[in-house]
């Protein structure tokens, strides 16, 4: 394997779940995942073999639709690809950060409002326990949550910025920029480097991120595939733990 292929950001779910986020990991042989109410990310080995795919099917269940976020390999022919979105991974390359005086720390009590904001703005997956993955900051106006951003994957030395969203009524006020800089400030204060993912077609967001000091590191893909309907008896009998 080349040195580039071994970079922790090439398989960020795996390096997160075997590193700083190991306490979240649900493991089945070489397959790891976050709890299903935390985030959809599943970690496959760098080069999954037939046994790994069989174990993934056993973990998720026959016929299940399985998110393969950031997976750049080949999906077996007996798995049906049901969703495909080209994506990009960007990394800090001179990002200027600063605390945001208007930002408030969000926690479990804020989750209903966070879920409502996500439902209205569609920044990507955000689930009832996603807030446990790291620091989430928000801006309130007249008591209502109108913008937020936070931390998701956590490979060693890196933290992903995620769930960047702003209520449509408050776009154009620079809230996303201020919150990205504030979240990134906390990441850098820990001695870590910010990175993020977005859809390749999301050109407006990419322009914003690049203007703030992010650069494209690699292209990637966000897939979902349906597991085979029938597993072998041996695979079905294996306990997940």
- Please count the residues of the chain: 241
The C-alpha angle with vertex 77 and arms to 48 and 12, in degrees rounded to 5, equals 35
Neighbours of 25 (CB within 10 A): 17
Q: Is 124 left (phi over 0), alpha (psi -120 to 50) or beta?
A: left
- Cα–Cα distance for residue pair 100/95, rounded to 1 Å: 15
Q: Find residue 150's DSSP bridge partners.
A: 136, 162
pLDDT at residue number 72: 86
Average pLDDT over residues 161-187: 97
Task: Provide the whole-model pTM.
Answer: 0.92
Segment 188-198, tens digit of pLDDT: 999 999 999 99
Full set of structural domains in the chain with CATH: 12-87+222-227 (3.40.630.30), 90-219 (3.40.630.30)
């Amino acid at each position: 394997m080349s040195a580039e292929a071994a970079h922790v950001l090439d398989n960020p779910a795996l390096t997160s779940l075997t590193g700083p986020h190991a306490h979240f990991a649900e493991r089945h042989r070489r397959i790891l995942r976050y709890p299903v109410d935390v985030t959809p990310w599943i970690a496959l080995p760098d080069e999954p073999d037939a046994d790994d795919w069989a174990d993934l099917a056993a973990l998720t269940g026959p016929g299940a639709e399985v998110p393969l976020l950031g997976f750049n390999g080949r999906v077996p022919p007996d798995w049906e690809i049901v969703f495909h979105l080209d994506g990009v991974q960007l990394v800090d390359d001179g990002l200027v950060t600063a605390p945001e005086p208007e930002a408030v720390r969000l926690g479990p009590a804020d989750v209903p409002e966070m879920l409502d904001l996500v439902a209205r703005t569609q920044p990507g997956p955000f689930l009832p326990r996603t807030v446990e993955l790291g620091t989430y900051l928000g801006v309130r106006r007249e008591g209502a949550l109108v913008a937020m951003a936070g931390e998701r994957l956590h490979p060693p030395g890196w933290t992903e910025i995620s769930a960047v969203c702003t209520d449509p009524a408050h776009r154009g006020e620079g809230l996303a920029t201020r919150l990205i800089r504030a979240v990134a400030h906390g990441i850098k204060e820990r001695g870590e480097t910010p990175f993020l993912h977005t859809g390749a077609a999301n050109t407006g967001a990419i322009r914003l991120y690049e203007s703030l000091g992010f650069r494209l590191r690699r292209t990637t893909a966000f897939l979902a595939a349906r597991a085979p309907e029938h597993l072998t008896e041996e695979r079905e009998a294996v306990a997940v733990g």
